[in-house]
Amino acid sequence: MDKFRDCGDIKKDLRYLYTVQFWVFLVSRNANRGERKSRERERGAMAEDLVLDTAIRDWVLIPLSVVMVLIGVLRYFVSKLMRSAQIPDAKLVKEGQVIVRARNLRAAANFIPPKSFRARRLYYSNEENGLLYVPKGQAPNAQAQMFSDPNMAMDMMKKNLSMIIPQTLTFAWVNFFFSGFVAAKIPFPLTQRFRAMLQNGIDLSTVDVSYVSSRSWYFLNLFGLRGLFSIILGEENATDDTQRMMQMTGFGFDPTKPGC
């Protein structure tokens, strides 16, 4: 618990630092109204030049990243344990293989004689019994299928839960322990609109938007550690939340309609 006491010290120090800077800023503004232009530039430099204690880096940024990596690894192992042995559906397996074969046909069509290519193409897209032929309008809507099949629905629920719960818990933890101080400075300037999102714990409205709270560090890690996980845990890992989030929004895909 020592590091949290240190954080409290940092909080106190930083609040003191802010207040000092703020009063310095006010005082200098009032005192030198005449030479506003050059002074403002100077004041701007002084007011924006916050010195962040290195202890923040040691006790906030690095532990937060480490904790997120560990939680990700934990989730990966838990998901591996919880994965029920799926008996693959006959139709799905065959469909998967047909798709691979058809894809090969499309990719390497130049390598076989034209007669063979035409024969195979007809085999797939024949109107009566072609393997890949889907009459217009009959294509099962992927989303409806997903909800009607109870096994798949359970699986989706499990996967979503395993994503939502750790995220919520970590977010709450970050908010509780690491709020109320400036955690990092973003190297590029931002507009004022980001203030609400990035500086939630910091109640001073004059601090430059580049100085962000630890909540934004949490979000940065959330999206950024994906690459790290794919190196550590191999390609297929359950921590690929962003992909799943994209999947959830991308339904309504009808293969018979053109332009999909």
The verdict on 126 binding another protein (CB under 8 A) reads no
The rounded distance, in Å, linking the Cα atoms of 230 and 227 is 5
Q: How many residues bind another protein (CB under 8 A)?
A: 19
88 or 189, CB closer to another protein?
88
Q: Smallest distance, Å, CB 123 to another protein?
A: 11
The rounded distance, in Å, linking the Cα atoms of 242 and 148 is 25
Interacting residue with another protein among 101, 121, 158, 226 (CB under 8 A)? 101
Q: Which stretch binds another protein (CB under 8 A): 26-34, 36-44, 95-103, 223-231?
A: 95-103
The verdict on 196 binding another protein (CB under 8 A) reads no
DSSP string of the chain, one letter each residue: -HHHHHHHHHHHHHHHHHHHHHHHHHHHHHHT-TTHHHHHHHHHHHHH-PPPPHHHIIIIIHHHHHHHHHHHHHHHHHHHHH-------HHHHHHHHHHHHHHHHHHTGGGS-HHHHHHHHHHHH-TTT-TT---TT-SPPHHHHHHHSHHHHHHHHHHHHHHHHHHHHHHHHHHHHS-SS--EE-SS---GGGHHHH-TT---TTS-TTEE-HHHHHHHHHHHHHHHHHHHS-S--TT-HHHHHHHHH-----TTSTT-
Residue with tokens 């797939």: 124
The verdict on 176 binding another protein (CB under 8 A) reads no
Binding positions for another protein, 29-88, rule CB under 8 A: 87-88
The verdict on 118 binding another protein (CB under 8 A) reads no
91 or 136, CB closer to another protein?
91
Interacting residue with another protein among 20, 98, 153, 154 (CB under 8 A)? 98
Residues whose CB falls within 8 Å of the CB of residue 78, separated by 6 or more in sequence, listed in order? 162
Interacting residue with another protein among 70, 78, 100, 169 (CB under 8 A)? 100
Q: Smallest distance, Å, CB 151 to another protein?
A: 16
The verdict on 165 binding another protein (CB under 8 A) reads no
57 or 94, CB closer to another protein?
94
The verdict on 122 binding another protein (CB under 8 A) reads no
Interacting residue with another protein among 78, 108, 164, 165 (CB under 8 A)? 108
Interacting residue with another protein among 94, 118, 185, 257 (CB under 8 A)? 94
User: What does the binding site for another protein look like in residue numbers (CB under 8 A)?
Assistant: 87-88, 90, 93-94, 96-98, 100-101, 104-105, 107-109, 111-113, 116
